[in-house]
Amino acid sequence: MMILPSQASFSPSNGRLSGEQVNRAVRRLKDLRGLFADEAAFLAMDPEQIVYEVHAHDACGPVEGGLFFGVSTLFPGKVGQEYFMTKGHIHERRNRGEYYWGIEGRGALVTMNERREATVAVIEPGSLHYVPGNTAHRIANTGNVPLVVGACWPADAGHDYDAIAERGFPVRIVEENGAPVVRNREDERDGR
Ligand code: PAN
Ligand code: ZN
């Protein structure tokens, strides 16, 4: 029997993921254009600022039956009153689910099903979240330290950003009186 070395290293306490098959993707503020409610505040900020990065262990490529393992680090910040968030997506193969878990920091997991019904869950160290198939998902950092979140998803899931970019999610996570609240976007349009 051959004893194999570890393929990569992962720290469950701070989420650091490294190794040969670990890829890093970075999203800057300019990549998130149009997602935040306060366009004027968005334009006044540094477009090159890093909002989040994703380290992902890719041991198999996008094959059916495979799995990807990733860690997202979402930096603290706001555009106007709205907390920094990921772009959000639904899986290209719609029925593919995903696990998320909180490692560091505090945030929100926003999901939306095909009827545009949203859920919001608090992410904190040790919280575990199952995102079912056919469900769009995004995270927001509601704290003032980086939000570090682990994820594991089917390797053939794919990411569809366009399908949800058009109408977006039905809720926003904003700061009101120093605390995070969920704002319904229907209320926003009515000016309430
Ligand atoms: C995560 C996300 C990651 C970045 O790994 O891809 O948090 O968010 P966006 O992809 O919306 O920019 C995941 O859900 N993978 O399927
Ligand atoms: Zn996903």
Q: For the whole prediction, is pTM greater than 0.85? A: yes
Q: How far is the CA of 64 from the centre of ligand 1 (A)?
A: 19
Residue 64, Cβ density class (10 Å: 0-12 exposed, 13-18 middle, ≥19 buried): exposed
For 68, 71, 99, 107, 110, the CA distances from 10, given in Å and listed in that order, are: 13, 9, 16, 21, 26
pLDDT in tens for each of the 192 residues of the chain? 889 888 899 999 999 999 999 999 999 999 999 999 999 999 999 999 999 999 999 999 999 999 999 999 999 999 999 999 999 999 999 999 999 999 999 999 999 999 999 999 999 999 999 999 999 999 999 999 999 999 999 999 999 999 999 899 999 999 999 999 999 997 775 544
Q: How far is the CA of 88 from the centre of ligand 1 (A)?
A: 7
Rounded CA-CA distance 67/42 in Å is 35
pLDDT at residue number 192: 46
pLDDT at residue number 39: 98
Name residues contacting ligand 1 (CB within 6 A).
27, 54, 70, 72, 86-89, 98, 137-138, 151, 153, 157, 159
Return the residue whose CA atom lies nearest to atom 8 of ligand 1.
Answer: 86
pLDDT at residue number 6: 82
pLDDT at residue number 189: 59
